[in-house]
Amino acid sequence: MDTISTDVAIIGAGGAGLRAAIALAETDPTLRIALISKVYPMRSHTCAAEGGAAGVIKPDDSFDLHFDDTVGGGDWLSDQDCVEYFVHEAPKELLQLEHWGCPWNREADGSVAVRPFGGMKKQRTWFAADKSGFHILHTLFQTSLQFPSITRYDEYYALDLLVDDGRCQGVTAMEMRSGQLRQFHAKAVIIAGGGAGRMFPFSTNGAIKTGDGMAMAYRAGAPLKDMEFVQYHPTGLPNTGSLLTEACRGEGGILVNKNGRRYLQDYGMGPETPVGKPQLKTMELGPRDRVSQAYWHELQKGNTVPTQWGDCVLLDMRHLGEKKINERLPLVRELCASYLQVDIVKDPVPIRPVVHYMMGGISTNTAAATPLPGLFAAGECACVSLNGANRLGSNSLIELLVFGRRAALSAIEHIQGLPASNTAALNARAGETQQRIDKLFSSTNGTESMSGLRKEMMDTMEKNVGIYRTEDGLQEGVSKIHELRQRYCDVKLTDKSNVFNTDLFQALELGSMLDCAEAVTVGALARKESRGSHQRLDYVERDDKKFLCHTMVHHQGLDVPRVDYLDVVITKSPPGVRDYSGDHK
Amino acid sequence: MTQMKERLVQLEVLRYNPDTDTEAHFQRYEVTCYEEGVVLDALNKIKADIDPTLNFRWSCHMAVCGSCGMMINGEPKLSCHTFLREYEGVIRVEPLTHFPIERDLVTAPDDFMEKLKRVKPYIIPKEDKPISEGEYKQTPAQLMKFRQYSMCINCMLCYAACPQYGLTPEFIGPAALTMAHRYNQDSRDGGRKERQEVVATHEGVWECTFVGACSEVCPAHVDPASALQQMKITSSIDWIVEHMIPGGKK
Amino acid sequence: MSRRPLVREVPPTSWYFRHPRYLRYMSREITSIFVGAYCLLLVVGLQRLASGPTAWEGFLLGLRSADSIVFHLLALAAAVYHATTWFNATQKAMPIQIGEDFVPGNVISGAHYVVWVVLSFAILFLVGVF
């Protein structure tokens, strides 16, 4: 097996991975940086983010307000030291991106424009039409091309972390086009591998979001934190699950049920605001968890609209007018027209909540460090405890930048004065990966079909770990996912070729998703309260006495994982009531 | 609630496995799909239910990641944005032309990636400005001057459509040159002169004969043909200033 | 058991049959032959004019032949086709931005057609057709 020696290996070349790579290259041009990704950087799922990125820039705004919105939006499960750091860094990162050429929308005077977003008390979401993530990703990728010290390993599928002497010292990865396994010996590793939304059947997430980075860290001994918090985006296309950005509502779109009623007013987000004049932090600009949960209640009441794609509610943007829609929501118009054949200028569009984002992930602290020395993580794969129990829209694009950079700085700090590594031990670790792959290839008696297992996993997650959860459903979910993990040992690999074998990669991705799915179900079962996106029909209240803490799930091989808890860091905002009733008290 | 309508889809997919094949060959599949689905849905169904050895790239399913470019009935398309409702009979699916086939529908984009890098697709500032001084002012009009060209998703359909690239592989090509134009047009940028070393050459804009196919197939409405013709004009003006106006030499 | 990328060659002499848009492109390019040939004819005419009245009369006589008339009709059709493709291309090569908006492409191309007509009449007027 070829060995590639590097200083820092980064797994994932989306927003967080690229930001980390650039920060490393800028801070110390002598560092050797290996940027490893299973897709070409511009294919990373950052590109699908639409609405924008939050950062305090306008004179009527303040760091404290952004802090309060984030902490309250997260139902007090955010670590407040982390939020504090984040809100201060956010504008700097957005300005940095502006200097690198990001085509942010502008005010008439040439300053950066901001738009309203759900759960935010001020307008602070920087945006590039409704392709903000796309532009952030391409700006970062193109900027990264000027740094010779960044060596990209595009279409390398990362497999296992190399851990020796109690610290992470590299990773094994397979070159997808040749099937060759390589080991990267690195002084520090940054995981920026994205989320795991594909464990659900109906998701905004691209095919690549299979939790590989999370699972890799988890298997290597780093705990997964708060995995039970899965965000449903309220407005997905009912057939493909494609995202219709929250900016649809930020710009003034309204949600109505089959009776034409703006039903959000019935779920603590009213009273009604005038159509076309969105008011911050109320009605359609409530937080995503609440808005998605309101859909569920409407469904129970029979107020949804039956369509050929299932039960929907309607997102009405007609009153925005064609000009504004074309200027600010061109992608949304195009998506609805092509995939649903609905012109949002003329008709309301049927939508329903769709799995969008994992608040949980690899446990990290504010320095983006995991409990495993030498291993850092940033972006959706990490849980730095910024988003708590519910992420606010437009906080994740900026999270990528703030903590991508922070992971890089922490990695540089870590590699100073490290003892020499034991190459023989690392080679032995890499050999274990080789054996795992060889076993998949040589097994002739695989009995479990991959697509079959995948379908069972997705169905289980949808049925038992959806917007509202119960003890019985979660029990069933835990045992089913556990069973699937056992059966996965006999997964059948049909394609035995070495060259771009997507059958193999899908099998490996399924393994990652099952690991993550188990952490989600186990965490959800253990959390006997309702908080943010984790809603239990049998424990409907938030329980700050028992559960003002992070769920930490530890991998135990094929056994059921171990769960323990970590206190939430509270600095200045004691748990309070989430109020989305606007100015009407 | 009405049910989603289904239909039978017939696909002819170009297969190539370097382990066993010396040539590529077509394989016929039949699969039931939702009528409002896209070609990619049919391919995914084939992979899940019929033939796990069929290989192709995809991710976002919303025409923004640029992974799933293929030739569909001879036309370069994103398969996630090619609607079954627009086709009758057998749909022929091939990998993007002008790129080497690694396997099945998977091509090697190395050449494009290298060319993109050569045009220096990043801001080369006129002068350094620290972050502490805030943003560069850029009016909406200045933004609109380049925004269209910043929409490129690097799907490489334009390279598959461009006969000049097929015949002269040294050609920098539509998407990469357009990215040079995008930065040249940005009010924050001062790097045009550096990029001209790549742009205003025989391998650069002068290899383009304005077939216009790039713009016809672009799924993001970037209009590379327009960008390249504009660069030809500015490059010509450069030449005239340099060679025909006394004292105009740079 | 490893990489062996398959390169599909582009047929160098028949690639334009692959797609109607390539045929349209080739037909545009072929018009240049007629335009070039007509330029050559003008050069020859000038040379005849310089050689004296007899040569010039002979040249004019040749122009009246059936072959020449067919050639002129073909060259005219080719030149008109070439001109339209050129004018239609102008909107790509010379976009005009006013404030945030771009002038619609057909306005730019249309302006070229207008100038073409005006100039044509002006030339016809100068040579005494009217």
DSSP one-letter string for A34-88: EEEESS-GGGSGGGG--S-EE---STT--HHHHHHHHHHHTTT-S-HHHHHHHHH
State residue B1's pLDDT score: 44
Residues A215-237: pLDDT tens digits?
Answer: 999 999 999 999 999 999 999 99
Dist CA B85 CA B34 (whole Å): 10
Give the minimum alpha-carbon distance from B240 to chain A in angstroms, rounded to a whole number: 31
Domain of C123 in residue numbering reads as 95-130
- CB nearest to C92's CB, from B19, B100, B226: B226
Q: Using CA atoms, how far apart are residues A472 and A165, in angstroms rounded to an integer? A: 42
- Would the pLDDT of B250 be above 60? no
The answer to whether A237 touches A335, Cβ cutoff 8 Å, is: yes
End-to-end Cα distance, chain C:
80
Whether residue A349 contacts residue A320, with contact meaning beta carbons closer than 8 Å, is answered with no
Residues of B in contact with C109 (CB under 8 A): none
Greatest alpha-carbon pair distance for chain B in Å reads 78
Of B5, B60, B134, the CB nearest to A47: B60
Residues C87 and C99 in one domain: no
CA A488, distance to chain mean position in Å, is 25
Which of B96, B214, B218, B226 best tests the C interface by mutation, with the highest count of C CBs <10 A? B226
The CA distances from residue A396 to A197, A404, A419, A449, in Å, are 15, 11, 36, 35
| Residue C35 covered by a domain | yes
The residue in chain C having the minimum alpha-carbon distance to the alpha carbon of residue B166 is: C10
Cross-chain residue pair B59–A39, CB shorter than 8 Å: yes
What is the rounded CA–CA span in Å between residue A12 and residue A380? 11
Interchain CB distance below 8 Å, B229 and C4: no
| Cβ atoms of A112 and A57 closer than 8 Å | yes
The domain A234-354 is placed in CATH, from the list 3.90.700.10, 3.40.190.10, 3.30.470.20, 3.40.50.720, at 3.90.700.10
Question: Do C24 and C36 fall within a single domain?
Answer: yes
C52 within a domain of the structure (yes/no): yes
Q: What is the third-level CATH fold of A424-545?
A: Methane Monooxygenase Hydroxylase; Chain G, domain 1 (1.20.58)
CATH 1.20.120.420 at B6-107, yes or no = no
Q: Same domain, yes or no, for C29 and C84?
A: yes
Chain A residues close to C2, C-beta within 8 Å: 178-180, 498-499
Q: C66 CB near a chain A CB, below 8 Å?
A: no
Contact C21, B213 (CB under 8 A): yes
Find chain B residues with C-beta within 8 A of A208's C-beta: 59
Tell me which of A43, A249, A454, A469 is the catalytic residue: A249
A179 and chain C in contact, CB less than 8 A = yes
Cis peptide before A271 (omega within 30 of 0): yes
CATH code at B110-244: 1.10.1060.10
Task: Retrieve residue A432's tokens.
Answer: 């274990």
Distance (Å, whole) CA C39 – CA C57: 19
Segments making up each domain of chain A, as ranges: 2-229+359-422, 234-354, 424-545
Task: Tell me the pLDDT band of A32, cut-offs 50, 70 and 90.
Answer: very high
Residue B204, SS3 per DSSP? coil
Q: Which of residues 474-513 of A touch C (CB under 8 A)?
A: 497-499
Mean pLDDT of the region A163-184? 97
| Contact call for residues B55 and B104 (beta carbons, < 8 A) | yes
Q: What is the pLDDT of residues B124-176, one digit of tens each?
A: 999 889 999 999 999 999 999 999 999 999 999 999 999 999 999 999 999 99
φ/ψ region of A52 (left if φ > 0, alpha if ψ in -120 to 50, else beta) reads left
Q: Is C50 exposed, middle or buried (0-12, 13-18, 19+ CB in 10 A)?
A: exposed
SS3 A498: coil
Same domain, C64 and C125: no
Confidence (pLDDT) at A445: 79
Same domain membership, residue C61 and residue C28 = yes
Is CATH 3.30.70.1290 what the domain over A2-229+359-422 is classified as, yes or no? no
Residues of A in contact with C3 (CB under 8 A): 177-178, 499
ipTM score: 0.97
Cβ burial, residue A257 (10 Å; 0-12/13-18/19+): buried
For the segment B109-137, the average pLDDT, to the nearest whole number, is 96
**Mean of pLDDT values over B60-67:** 97
Whether A448 contacts chain B with CB within 8 A: no
C6 occurs within a structural domain? no
Handedness of CA A128, A130, A134, A137 (dihedral sign): positive
Asked whether the beta carbons of residue B167 and residue C12 sit closer than 8 angstroms, the reply is: yes
User: Residue A167: is its pLDDT beyond 70?
Assistant: yes
- Among A233, A406, A429, A469, which one carries the catalytic annotation? A233
| Closest residue on chain C to B100 (Cα) | C7
What DSSP string runs through A391-425?
Answer: PPTTSHHHHHHHHHHHHHHHHHHHHTTPPPP-HHH
Using CA atoms, how far apart are residues A436 and A429, in angstroms rounded to an integer?
Answer: 11
Give the total number of structural domains in chain C.
Answer: 2
Mark yes or no for CB contact B24/C7 under 8 Å: no
Residue B249 has what pLDDT?
59
Percent of chain B beyond pLDDT 70? 98
* pLDDT tens-digit readout, A86-124: 999 999 999 999 999 999 999 999 999 999 999 999 999
Query: C42 φ, ψ to 5°?
Result: -65, -40
The band of A443, judged by pLDDT with boundaries at 50, 70 and 90, is confident
- For residue A128, the chain B residue with the least C-alpha distance is B147
Minimum distance, in Å, between the CA of residue A64 and any CA atom of chain B: 20
**Treating both helix axes as pointing N-terminal to C-terminal, what angle do B224-244 and C66-93 enclose, rounded to 10 degrees?**
100
**Catalytic site residue A233?**
yes
CB contacts, 8 Å: A98 with chain B: 135-136
Q: Are C89 and C100 members of one domain?
A: no
Backbone dihedral angles phi then psi of residue A215, each to the nearest 5 degrees: -65, -35
pLDDT per residue as tens digits for the range B188-198 = 999 999 999 99
* Residues C113 and C51 both lie in one domain: no
The answer to whether the Cβ–Cβ distance between B34 and A239 falls below 8 Å is yes
What is the residue-averaged pLDDT of chain A? 97
| Smallest Cα distance from A178 to chain C, Å | 5
Same domain, C60 and C83: yes
| Residue A249 annotated as catalytic | yes
Give A53's strand partners: A126
Q: How far is CA A528 from the centre of its chain?
A: 24
pLDDT for C51-74, tens place per residue?
A: 999 999 999 999 999 999 999 999
- Least Cα distance to B65 among A175, A206, A12, A333 occurs for A206
Residue A260 has pLDDT above 60, yes or no: yes
* Contact: A499, B146; criterion CB under 8 Å: no
Note whether C103 and C51 are same-domain residues: no
| φ, ψ at B240 (rounded to 5°) | -65, -45
How close, in Å, is residue B244 to chain A by CA atoms? 35
Q: How far apart are CA B204 and CA B209, in angstroms?
A: 11
**C-beta atoms of C1 and A498 within 8 A:** yes
Q: Does B18 touch chain C (CB under 8 A)?
A: yes
- Name the token pair of A300: 């129970």
